[in-house]
Amino acid sequence: MWFISADDLASPFLARTLRTGFPRLQNMVREAVIGSRDDANESYSGPEVVLMLQSIASVQQSR
């Protein structure tokens, strides 16, 4: 069996990949929230969209 170490989880490569592709990540988050609603509207920016976008904010702050 193969285990993932803490080093593997916190990969500089992963952080860099997420940071450079941050707009893509934001879109994914936004689409997931909006797509889950009955009234799927691309311009929707309710509190759950804001909250979920905040949840990935650490990606941008990481160096």
CA separation for the pair 43, 12 (Å, rounded): 33
Q: How far is the CB of 42 from other proteins (least distance, A)?
A: 14
Count the site residues for other proteins by CB under 8 A: 37
- Residues 13-42, mask of contacts with other proteins (x by CB under 8 A): xxx-xxx-x--xx--xx-xxx-xxxx----
Cα 37-40-41 angle, rounded to 5 deg: 135
Residues 6 or more apart whose Cβ sits within 8 Å of residue 40: 34
Examine residue 45 and tell whether it contacts other proteins (CB under 8 A). Answer: no
> Least distance from C-beta 3 to other proteins, angstroms?
10
